[in-house]
Amino acid sequence: MGDRRSVILFAGDRWSDALPVCIAGIIVGLLGTTLFLIQRSASRRGRRGAQVGLD
């Protein structure tokens, strides 16, 4: 069943415009999460450049 969804997602005309937006959203979300985790770990270690209050 997962194969049908991927075929529709990549080959369907309705999804051809939405796919780049979805991929961009996933990339931006992963980038934001990565930056948050880096800042949180730096804050816990007491680094000077880290943001405050990320516990």
In tens, the pLDDT along 7-22 reads 555 656 666 777 788 8
Structural domain containing residue 37: 19-55
Reply yes or no on whether the pLDDT at 29 is more than 90: yes
For residue 14, is it within any domain?
no
Q: What angle do CA 2, 7, 26 make, to 5 degrees?
A: 75
Confidence of residue 55 (pLDDT cuts 50, 70, 90): low
Domain count across the chain: 1
For residue 49, is it within any domain?
yes
d(CA 22, CA 55): 30
For residue 6, is it within any domain?
no
Cβ atoms 43, 54 nearer than 8 A: yes
For residue 55, is it within any domain?
yes
